[in-house]
A and B are shown apart, each in its own frame.
Chain A
Amino acid sequence: MPVFKTPFNGYAVRFSPFYEGRLLVATSQNFGILGNGRLHVLEIDPASGALAELRSFETADGIYDCAWSESHDSLAVAAVADGSVKLWDASLPPAANPVRSLHEHSREVHSVDWNPVRRDSFLSASWDDSVKLWTLDRQSSVRTFREHSYCVYAVAWSPRHADVFASASGDRTARVWDVRDPRSTLVLPAHDHEILSCDWNKYDECSLATASVDKSVRVWDVRAPRAPIANLAGHGYAVRKVKFSPHRENILLSCSYDMTVCMWDYRAEDALIARYDHHTEFVVGVDMSVLVEGLLASTGWDELVYVWQHGTDPRAMP
Chain B
Amino acid sequence: MEKAIGRQRVLLQHLHPSSGSDDHPTLSTSICAAGDSAAYQRSSCFGDDVVIVAACRTAICKSKRGGFKDTHPEDLLAPVLKALLDKTKLNPSEVGDIVVGTVLAPGSQRAIECRMAAFYAGFPETVPLRTVNRQCSSGLQAVADIAASIKAGFYDIGIAAGMESMTVNSVGRIVPVNPRAEMFAQARDCLLPMGMTSEIVAQRYGVTRQEQDQAAVESHRRAAAATAAGKFKEEIIPVTTKIVDPKSGEEKQVTISVDDGVRPDTSMSVLAKLKPAFKKDGSTTAGNASQVSDGAGAVLLMRKDVAMQKGFPILGVFRSFAAVGVDPAVMGIGPAVAIPAAVKAAGLQIDDIDLFEINEAFASQFVYCCKKLELDPSKVNVNGGAIALGHPLGATGARSVSTLLNEMKRRGKDCRFGVISMCIGSGMGAAAVFERGDVVDQLSNVRRIQSNNLLSKDAM
Which residues does A use to contact B, with CB under 8 Å? 30-34, 81, 107-108, 127, 151, 170, 172, 192-194, 196, 213-215, 236-238, 240, 257
Which of B5-13, B164-172, B192-200, B379-387 is the contact stretch?
B5-13
The answer to whether A238 and B7 touch across the interface, beta carbons within 8 angstroms, is no
User: A238–B15 contact, CB under 8 A?
Assistant: yes
- Closest chain B residue, CB of each to CB of A110: B10
Question: A33-B4, A193-B19, A194-B14 are known contacts; what are 18 more A-B pairs with Cβ within 8 Å?
Answer: A32-B11, A33-B8, A33-B11, A33-B459, A34-B4, A34-B7, A108-B7, A127-B10, A192-B19, A194-B13, A194-B17, A196-B14, A213-B13, A236-B26, A237-B27, A238-B15, A238-B17, A257-B15
Measured in the bound complex, the distance between the Cα atoms of B15 and A237 in whole Å is 7
Provide a sorted-by-A list of 30 A–B residue pairs whose CB atoms are within 8 angstroms: A30-B459, A32-B11, A33-B455, A33-B459, A34-B4, A34-B7, A34-B455, A81-B7, A107-B6, A108-B7, A151-B10, A170-B13, A172-B19, A192-B20, A193-B19, A193-B20, A194-B13, A194-B14, A194-B17, A196-B14, A213-B13, A213-B17, A214-B20, A214-B23, A236-B26, A238-B14, A238-B15, A238-B17, A240-B14, A257-B15
Interface centre among B7, B11, B19, B23 (most CB of A within 10 A): B7
Chain A interface mostly:
loop
Q: Which chain B residues border A172 with CB–CB below 8 Å? A: 19
Contacts of A192 in B (CB 8 A): 19-20
List residues of chain B with CB within 8 A of the CB of A127.
10
A96 CB → nearest B CB, Å: 29
* B8-A214 in contact (CB<8A): no
Q: Which 3 pairs from chain A and chain B are nearest by CB?
A: A34-B4, A238-B14, A193-B17
What is the distance, in angstroms, from A38's C-beta to the closest C-beta of chain B?
A: 17
Given the complex of chains A and B, what is the CA–CA distance between A215 and B10 in angstroms?
17
A196 nearest CB across to chain B (Å): 7
The range of chain B's interface size is: 10 to 19
Q: Is the CB of B11 within 8 A of A214?
A: no
Residues in B neighbouring A33, C-beta threshold 8 A:
4, 7-8, 11, 455, 459
The distance from the CB of A108 to the nearest CB of chain B, in whole angstroms, is 7
B→A interface (CB under 8 Å): 3-4, 6-8, 10-11, 13-15, 17, 19-20, 23, 26-27, 455, 459
Q: Which of A33, A193, A214 has the most CB of B within 10 A?
A: A33
Which A residues are in CB contact (< 8 Å) with B455? 33-34
Once bound together, how far apart are the Cα atoms of A143 and B311, in whole Å? 73
- Let me know if A257 and B14 touch, CB within 8 A: yes
A34:B459 contact, CB within 8 angstroms: yes
Distance in angstroms between the alpha carbons of A33 and B11 in the assembled complex: 9
Majority-rule SS of B interface residues: helix
Q: A107 to B27, alpha carbons, bound, how many Å?
A: 28
Residues of chain B within 8 A (CB-CB) of A81 are 7
Report A-chain residues with C-beta under 8 Å of the C-beta of B20: 192-193, 214
B-side contacts of A170, CB under 8 Å: 10, 13
Contact of A213 among B4, B14, B26 (CB under 8 A): B14
* A257 and B4 alpha carbons, distance in the complex (Å): 20
CB neighbours (8 Å) of A34 from chain B are: 3-4, 7, 455, 459
B7 touches A32 (CB 8 A): yes
Q: How far is the CB of A264 from chain B (nearest CB, A)?
A: 20
Residues of A within 8 A of B17 (CB): 193-194, 213-214, 238
Chain A CB within 10 Å — which of B6, B11, B14, B455 has the most? B14
Residues of A within 8 A of B19 (CB): 172, 192-193
How far is the CB of B36 from the nearest CB of chain A, in Å?
14
Quick one: which of B13, B17, B23, B26 has the most chain A CB within 10 A? B17
Complex: how many Å from CA A257 to CA B15? 8
| Chain B proximity of A302: nearest CB distance (Å) | 12
A254 → B minimal CB distance (Å): 14
Residue among A34, A196, A214 with max Cβ neighbours from chain B (10 Å): A34
B8 contacts across to A, CB distance below 8 A: 33
Contacts of A31 in B (CB 8 A): 11
Instruction: Give the docked Cα–Cα distance between A196 and B4 (Å).
Output: 20
Q: How far is the CB of A230 from chain B (nearest CB, A)?
A: 19
A172 CA to B27 CA in the complex, in Å?
A: 21
Complex CA distance for A215 and B27, rounded to whole angstroms:
12
How many angstroms between the C-alpha atoms of A4 and B19 in the bound complex? 38
Beta-carbon nearest neighbor of A191 in chain B: B20
A170 to B14, CA, bound (A): 9
* A213 CA / B6 CA spacing, docked (Å): 18
Distance A32 CA – B7 CA, assembled complex (angstroms): 8
**Please, how many angstroms separate the alpha-carbon atoms of A267 and B3 in the complex?**
42
B456 CB to nearest chain A CB (Å): 8
In whole angstroms, what is the CA distance A192 to B20 when docked?
6
**Complex Cα spacing A127 to B3, Å:** 12
Instruction: Please indicate the chain A residues that have their CB under 8 angstroms from the CB of B26 in the complex.
Output: 236
Which chain B residue has the least Cβ–Cβ distance from A215?
B23
CA distance A30 to B460 in the complex (A): 12
Chain A residues with CB below 8 A from B6, complex form: 107
Within the assembled complex, what's the spacing in Å between the Cα atoms of A27 and B458? 20
> Nearest CB to that of A61 among chain B residues?
B3
Min distance, Cβ B280 to any Cβ of chain A, angstroms:
66
CB distance from B14 to the nearest CB of A (A): 4
Report the minimum CB–CB distance from A120 to chain B (whole Å).
Answer: 32
Closest to A64 in B: B7
Contacts of A107 in B (CB 8 A): 6
CB neighbours of A214 from chain B (8 A)? 17, 20, 23
Residues of B within 8 A of A194 (CB): 13-14, 17
Closest B residue to A31 using CB positions: B11
Q: How far is the CA of A170 from the CA of B3 in the complex (A)?
A: 18
Docked pose: A33 CA to B3 CA in angstroms = 8
- Collect the chain A residues with CB atoms within 8 Å of residue B459's CB: 30, 33-34
Tell me how far the C-beta of B100 lies from the nearest C-beta in chain A, rounded to whole angstroms. 52
Chain A neighbourhood of B13, CB < 8 A: 170, 194, 213
Chain A residues with Cβ below 8 Å from B15 are: 237-238, 257
Question: In the assembly, what is the distance between CA of A191 and CA of B308, in Å?
Answer: 54
